[in-house]
Structure 1
Protein backbone atom coordinates (compact mmCIF):
# COMPACT_ATOMS: atom_id res chain seq x y z
CA UNK A 1 0.00 0.00 0.00
CA UNK A 2 1.36 3.37 -1.01
CA UNK A 3 0.96 6.27 1.36
CA UNK A 4 0.28 9.57 -0.35
CA UNK A 5 1.21 12.57 1.68
CA UNK A 6 -1.39 15.33 1.32
CA UNK A 7 -0.93 18.88 2.41
CA UNK A 8 -4.13 19.84 4.24
CA UNK A 9 -3.09 23.50 4.19
CA UNK A 10 -3.27 23.48 0.39
CA UNK A 11 -6.98 22.53 0.58
CA UNK A 12 -7.66 25.12 3.26
CA UNK A 13 -5.85 27.80 1.26
CA UNK A 14 -7.96 26.97 -1.81
CA UNK A 15 -11.17 27.42 0.21
CA UNK A 16 -9.76 30.65 1.66
CA UNK A 17 -9.03 32.01 -1.84
CA UNK A 18 -12.53 31.11 -3.07
CA UNK A 19 -14.19 32.81 -0.08
CA UNK A 20 -12.03 35.90 -0.62
CA UNK A 21 -13.16 36.09 -4.24
CA UNK A 22 -16.84 35.77 -3.25
CA UNK A 23 -16.50 38.56 -0.68
CA UNK A 24 -14.56 40.77 -3.11
CA UNK A 25 -17.29 40.33 -5.76
CA UNK A 26 -20.04 41.17 -3.26
CA UNK A 27 -18.12 44.19 -1.96
CA UNK A 28 -17.57 45.51 -5.49
CA UNK A 29 -21.30 45.19 -6.25
CA UNK A 30 -22.19 46.90 -2.96
CA UNK A 31 -19.83 49.81 -3.71
CA UNK A 32 -21.34 50.21 -7.18
CA UNK A 33 -24.85 50.41 -5.69
CA UNK A 34 -23.70 53.00 -3.16
CA UNK A 35 -22.25 55.12 -5.94
CA UNK A 36 -25.63 54.94 -7.69
CA UNK A 37 -27.18 56.79 -4.76
CA UNK A 38 -28.86 54.07 -2.75
CA UNK A 39 -27.23 55.25 0.49
CA UNK A 40 -29.25 58.48 0.36
CA UNK A 41 -32.64 56.78 0.27
CA UNK A 42 -35.06 57.49 3.07
CA UNK A 43 -37.05 54.37 2.13
CA UNK A 44 -36.94 51.63 -0.48
CA UNK A 45 -39.94 50.23 -2.34
CA UNK A 46 -40.14 46.42 -2.47
CA UNK A 47 -38.93 44.94 -5.75
CA UNK A 48 -39.10 41.54 -7.46
CA UNK A 49 -36.55 40.67 -10.14
CA UNK A 50 -37.10 37.65 -12.35
CA UNK A 51 -36.30 36.50 -15.86
CA UNK A 52 -37.71 34.56 -18.76
CA UNK A 53 -35.88 33.33 -21.86
CA UNK A 54 -35.79 36.75 -23.52
CA UNK A 55 -35.58 39.31 -20.71
CA UNK A 56 -35.13 40.34 -17.11
CA UNK A 57 -38.12 41.93 -15.42
CA UNK A 58 -37.98 44.31 -12.46
CA UNK A 59 -41.34 44.85 -10.75
CA UNK A 60 -41.46 47.61 -8.12
CA UNK A 61 -44.38 48.41 -5.82
CA UNK A 62 -44.93 52.16 -6.16
CA UNK A 63 -48.56 52.88 -5.22
CA UNK A 64 -49.64 56.49 -5.12
CA UNK A 65 -47.02 57.74 -7.57
CA UNK A 66 -47.57 59.76 -10.68
CA UNK A 67 -45.48 58.47 -13.60
CA UNK A 68 -43.73 61.86 -13.71
CA UNK A 69 -42.35 61.25 -10.18
CA UNK A 70 -40.46 58.09 -11.22
CA UNK A 71 -37.08 58.15 -12.96
CA UNK A 72 -35.33 55.16 -14.56
CA UNK A 73 -31.71 55.31 -15.73
CA UNK A 74 -29.51 52.60 -17.16
CA UNK A 75 -25.75 52.49 -17.48
CA UNK A 76 -23.33 49.57 -17.84
CA UNK A 77 -25.99 46.93 -17.06
CA UNK A 78 -26.98 48.80 -13.89
CA UNK A 79 -30.57 49.99 -13.63
CA UNK A 80 -31.18 52.93 -11.31
CA UNK A 81 -34.74 53.49 -10.13
CA UNK A 82 -35.46 56.77 -8.35
CA UNK A 83 -38.52 58.65 -7.21
CA UNK A 84 -40.00 60.97 -4.65
CA UNK A 85 -43.36 60.46 -2.96
CA UNK A 86 -44.53 63.73 -1.47
CA UNK A 87 -46.43 63.86 1.80
CA UNK A 88 -49.81 65.43 1.18
CA UNK A 89 -50.06 68.86 2.77
CA UNK A 90 -53.01 68.93 5.23
CA UNK A 91 -53.51 72.68 4.85
CA UNK A 92 -53.72 72.39 1.07
CA UNK A 93 -56.24 69.56 1.16
CA UNK A 94 -58.25 70.57 4.25
CA UNK A 95 -57.55 67.66 6.63
CA UNK A 96 -55.44 66.72 9.68
CA UNK A 97 -53.21 63.66 10.01
CA UNK A 98 -53.87 61.29 12.92
CA UNK A 99 -51.33 58.69 11.82
CA UNK A 100 -48.70 58.53 9.08
CA UNK A 101 -47.49 55.02 8.27
CA UNK A 102 -47.06 55.24 4.51
CA UNK A 103 -43.51 55.86 3.31
CA UNK A 104 -42.76 59.17 1.69
CA UNK A 105 -39.74 61.07 0.50
CA UNK A 106 -37.02 60.26 -1.99
CA UNK A 107 -35.78 56.77 -2.78
CA UNK A 108 -33.09 55.35 -5.01
CA UNK A 109 -32.45 51.71 -5.90
CA UNK A 110 -29.76 50.24 -8.16
CA UNK A 111 -29.79 46.76 -9.67
CA UNK A 112 -27.26 44.80 -11.69
CA UNK A 113 -28.33 42.05 -14.06
CA UNK A 114 -26.03 39.09 -14.69
CA UNK A 115 -26.20 39.18 -18.50
CA UNK A 116 -25.76 41.88 -21.14
CA UNK A 117 -28.97 43.71 -21.98
CA UNK A 118 -30.00 45.83 -24.94
CA UNK A 119 -30.07 49.31 -23.39
CA UNK A 120 -31.96 50.68 -26.43
CA UNK A 121 -34.86 48.25 -25.96
CA UNK A 122 -35.71 48.78 -22.28
CA UNK A 123 -39.42 49.34 -21.67
CA UNK A 124 -41.39 50.35 -18.60
CA UNK A 125 -45.10 50.17 -17.79
CA UNK A 126 -46.80 51.57 -14.67
CA UNK A 127 -50.17 49.95 -13.93
CA UNK A 128 -52.13 49.81 -10.66
CA UNK A 129 -49.20 51.01 -8.55
CA UNK A 130 -46.69 48.50 -9.94
CA UNK A 131 -43.84 49.59 -12.20
CA UNK A 132 -42.61 46.84 -14.52
CA UNK A 133 -39.28 47.38 -16.26
CA UNK A 134 -38.45 44.89 -19.02
CA UNK A 135 -34.79 44.51 -20.01
CA UNK A 136 -34.21 42.49 -23.18
CA UNK A 137 -31.21 40.17 -23.12
CA UNK A 138 -28.64 40.39 -25.89
CA UNK A 139 -28.50 37.00 -27.52
CA UNK A 140 -25.01 35.62 -27.93
CA UNK A 141 -24.22 34.82 -31.56
CA UNK A 142 -24.10 31.11 -32.32
CA UNK A 143 -20.68 29.52 -32.30
CA UNK A 144 -18.97 29.72 -35.67
CA UNK A 145 -17.93 26.42 -37.18
CA UNK A 146 -14.35 26.47 -38.41
CA UNK A 147 -13.52 24.29 -41.38
CA UNK A 148 -10.22 22.50 -41.06
CA UNK A 149 -8.06 22.54 -44.21
Structure 2
Protein backbone atom coordinates (compact mmCIF):
# COMPACT_ATOMS: atom_id res chain seq x y z
CA UNK A 1 0.00 0.00 0.00
CA UNK A 2 1.26 3.48 -0.86
CA UNK A 3 1.71 6.02 1.88
CA UNK A 4 1.23 9.73 1.10
CA UNK A 5 3.12 12.32 3.13
CA UNK A 6 2.19 15.96 3.02
CA UNK A 7 5.20 18.32 2.60
CA UNK A 8 5.24 21.90 3.83
CA UNK A 9 8.27 24.24 3.34
CA UNK A 10 7.51 25.74 6.75
CA UNK A 11 8.30 22.41 8.39
CA UNK A 12 11.98 22.71 7.34
CA UNK A 13 12.13 26.39 8.26
CA UNK A 14 11.05 25.88 11.86
CA UNK A 15 12.46 22.38 12.42
CA UNK A 16 14.85 22.58 15.35
CA UNK A 17 14.48 26.35 15.72
CA UNK A 18 13.42 26.17 19.34
CA UNK A 19 15.72 23.27 20.17
CA UNK A 20 19.17 24.32 18.90
CA UNK A 21 21.01 27.21 20.51
CA UNK A 22 21.57 30.20 18.25
CA UNK A 23 24.92 30.13 16.46
CA UNK A 24 26.96 33.34 16.62
CA UNK A 25 30.11 34.04 14.61
CA UNK A 26 33.15 33.03 16.65
CA UNK A 27 35.63 35.88 16.15
CA UNK A 28 34.94 39.55 16.64
CA UNK A 29 36.92 41.83 14.33
CA UNK A 30 39.31 44.18 16.09
CA UNK A 31 38.08 47.72 16.49
CA UNK A 32 39.66 50.23 14.13
CA UNK A 33 40.22 53.94 14.54
CA UNK A 34 38.40 55.70 11.71
CA UNK A 35 40.18 58.89 10.63
CA UNK A 36 39.25 61.92 8.50
CA UNK A 37 42.14 64.17 7.41
CA UNK A 38 41.60 67.62 5.90
CA UNK A 39 44.37 69.87 4.62
CA UNK A 40 44.34 73.58 5.39
CA UNK A 41 46.94 76.08 4.14
CA UNK A 42 48.95 76.01 7.40
CA UNK A 43 47.81 72.78 9.09
CA UNK A 44 46.07 69.43 8.87
CA UNK A 45 42.77 68.87 10.68
CA UNK A 46 42.31 65.25 11.83
CA UNK A 47 39.13 63.75 13.31
CA UNK A 48 39.58 60.25 14.79
CA UNK A 49 36.72 58.19 16.23
CA UNK A 50 37.55 56.60 19.58
CA UNK A 51 34.25 55.44 21.08
CA UNK A 52 34.52 54.15 24.63
CA UNK A 53 37.93 55.72 25.23
CA UNK A 54 38.78 58.11 28.04
CA UNK A 55 40.84 61.25 27.47
CA UNK A 56 43.61 60.09 29.80
CA UNK A 57 43.99 56.78 27.89
CA UNK A 58 44.70 58.42 24.50
CA UNK A 59 48.30 58.93 23.35
CA UNK A 60 49.28 60.91 20.24
CA UNK A 61 52.86 60.96 18.99
CA UNK A 62 54.29 63.09 16.18
CA UNK A 63 57.62 62.30 14.60
CA UNK A 64 58.51 64.24 11.47
CA UNK A 65 55.54 63.71 9.17
CA UNK A 66 54.25 60.55 10.90
CA UNK A 67 51.33 60.63 13.36
CA UNK A 68 50.56 57.74 15.74
CA UNK A 69 47.33 57.50 17.74
CA UNK A 70 47.01 54.85 20.45
CA UNK A 71 44.25 54.27 22.99
CA UNK A 72 43.06 51.79 25.57
CA UNK A 73 39.35 50.98 25.29
CA UNK A 74 37.85 49.29 28.34
CA UNK A 75 34.57 47.42 28.59
CA UNK A 76 32.43 48.14 31.63
CA UNK A 77 30.18 45.22 32.60
CA UNK A 78 26.85 46.01 34.16
CA UNK A 79 25.07 42.73 34.91
CA UNK A 80 21.89 43.17 36.91
CA UNK A 81 20.63 40.65 39.41
CA UNK A 82 18.44 38.01 37.82
CA UNK A 83 19.83 38.63 34.30
CA UNK A 84 22.05 36.26 32.43
CA UNK A 85 24.47 37.60 29.80
CA UNK A 86 24.17 35.47 26.67
CA UNK A 87 26.65 37.34 24.49
CA UNK A 88 28.58 40.59 24.70
CA UNK A 89 29.85 42.10 21.45
CA UNK A 90 31.61 45.11 22.88
CA UNK A 91 35.32 45.42 22.18
CA UNK A 92 37.92 46.19 24.77
CA UNK A 93 41.65 46.32 24.48
CA UNK A 94 44.21 48.51 22.76
CA UNK A 95 43.70 50.17 19.38
CA UNK A 96 46.22 52.12 17.34
CA UNK A 97 46.58 53.87 14.02
CA UNK A 98 49.58 55.48 12.31
CA UNK A 99 49.76 57.45 9.09
CA UNK A 100 52.11 59.77 7.21
CA UNK A 101 51.36 63.23 5.89
CA UNK A 102 53.09 64.98 2.97
CA UNK A 103 54.68 67.77 5.07
CA UNK A 104 56.76 67.78 8.25
CA UNK A 105 54.73 68.71 11.35
CA UNK A 106 55.48 71.27 14.06
CA UNK A 107 54.78 69.55 17.39
CA UNK A 108 54.98 72.82 19.33
CA UNK A 109 52.20 74.51 17.33
CA UNK A 110 49.92 71.46 17.14
CA UNK A 111 46.92 70.95 19.44
CA UNK A 112 44.47 68.20 20.40
CA UNK A 113 41.00 68.00 21.95
CA UNK A 114 38.65 65.12 22.78
CA UNK A 115 34.87 65.39 22.95
CA UNK A 116 32.03 62.86 22.57
CA UNK A 117 34.31 60.03 21.43
CA UNK A 118 36.00 62.09 18.69
CA UNK A 119 39.65 63.14 18.91
CA UNK A 120 40.36 66.36 17.00
CA UNK A 121 43.96 67.15 16.09
CA UNK A 122 45.17 70.38 14.53
CA UNK A 123 48.61 69.50 13.21
CA UNK A 124 50.60 72.57 12.17
CA UNK A 125 52.87 72.29 9.15
CA UNK A 126 56.50 73.23 9.72
CA UNK A 127 57.43 76.50 8.12
CA UNK A 128 59.70 76.19 5.14
CA UNK A 129 63.32 76.00 6.12
CA UNK A 130 65.35 79.00 5.02
CA UNK A 131 67.17 78.42 1.77
CA UNK A 132 70.80 77.55 2.10
CA UNK A 133 73.04 80.55 1.93
CA UNK A 134 75.89 80.52 -0.53
CA UNK A 135 79.20 81.65 0.86
CA UNK A 136 81.42 83.89 -1.23
CA UNK A 137 84.99 82.77 -1.36
CA UNK A 138 87.44 85.60 -0.73
* 1:112 aligned onto 2:97: no
Structure 2 equivalent of residue 64 of structure 1: 52
Taking structure 2 as the reference length, what is the TM-score of the superposition?
Answer: 0.63
Structure 1 residue matching 2:108: 3-state secondary structure: helix
Structure 1, unpaired ranges of 5+: 1-41, 145-149
Note if contact 1:85-1:106 (Cα within 8 Å) is conserved in structure 2: yes
Note if contact 1:90-1:96 (Cα within 8 Å) is conserved in structure 2: no
In 2, the alpha carbon distance for the partners of 1:49 and 1:102 equals 27
Offset at residue 121 of structure 1 (A): 1.5
* 1:84 aligned onto 2:72: yes
Cα distance change, pair 141–71 in 1 and its aligned pair in 2 (3 A): closer
Note if contact 2:62-2:105 (Cα within 8 Å) is conserved in structure 1: no
Q: Deviations over 1:80-102 (max 9, x none)?
A: 100011111346x8775444334
Structure 1 equivalent of residue 125 of structure 2: 137
* TM-align CA RMSD: 2.9
Note if contact 1:90-1:97 (Cα within 8 Å) is conserved in structure 2: no
Taking structure 1 as the reference length, what is the TM-score of the superposition?
Answer: 0.58
Compare 134-143 and 120-129 and name the one that shifted more. 134-143
More helix by share: 1
1:1-149 correspondence to structure 2 within 5 Å: 42-90=30-78, 97-140=85-128
Structure 1 residue matching 2:99: 3-state secondary structure: strand
In 1, the alpha carbon distance for the partners of 2:113 and 2:57 equals 14
